[in-house]
């Protein structure tokens, strides 16, 4: 499966939801997550993210993000259409420590 990681936070470009063939993205206030039970591992979304936030879960070091995606996919509503990114998305793009900035 694929997972949404740190750099989606406070950006939310949502280009990813437009290309997902199974609409398995879920939306929170500051980021999106992928439902691991619904993702068919097609990989189409990964190059679409302007913030490079989507990763294959086979990459090392993603355990926390895998757990976070699974947890919030069960709690947040589905999103299947592109929305405007957050107003200060460009400012936040690439900043370290985003997770701590919203969940900490």
Question: Which of the stretches 6-14, 42-50, 58-66, 92-100 binds ligand SF4 when contact is defined by CB under 6 A?
Answer: 42-50
**Residue 53 binding partner per list ligand SF4, ligand F3S, none, with a CB distance cut-off of 5 to 8 Å that depends on partner kind:** ligand F3S
Find which of ligand F3S, ligand SF4, none residue 51 binds, CB within 5 to 8 Å per kind. ligand F3S
Give strand ranges (E) for 1-104. Answer: 2-4, 25-27, 32-34, 54-56
CA 88-93-7 angle, to 5 degrees, is 115
Phi, psi for 56 (deg, rounded to 5): -70, 140
Stretch that binds ligand SF4, among 7-15, 37-45, 78-86, 95-103 (CB under 6 A): 37-45
């Amino acid at each position: 499966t694929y997972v949404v990681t740190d750099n989606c936070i406070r950006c939310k470009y949502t280009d990813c939801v437009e290309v997902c063939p199974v609409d398995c993205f879920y939306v929170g206030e500051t980021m999106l997550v992928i439902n691991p039970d619904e993702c068919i591992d097609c990989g189409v979304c990964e190059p679409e993210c302007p913030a490079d936030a989507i990763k294959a879960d086979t990459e090392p070091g993603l355990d926390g993000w895998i757990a976070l995606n699974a947890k919030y996919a069960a709690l947040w509503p589905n999103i299947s259409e592109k929305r405007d990114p957050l107003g200060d998305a460009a400012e936040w793009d690439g900043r370290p420590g985003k997770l701590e900035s919203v969940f900490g």
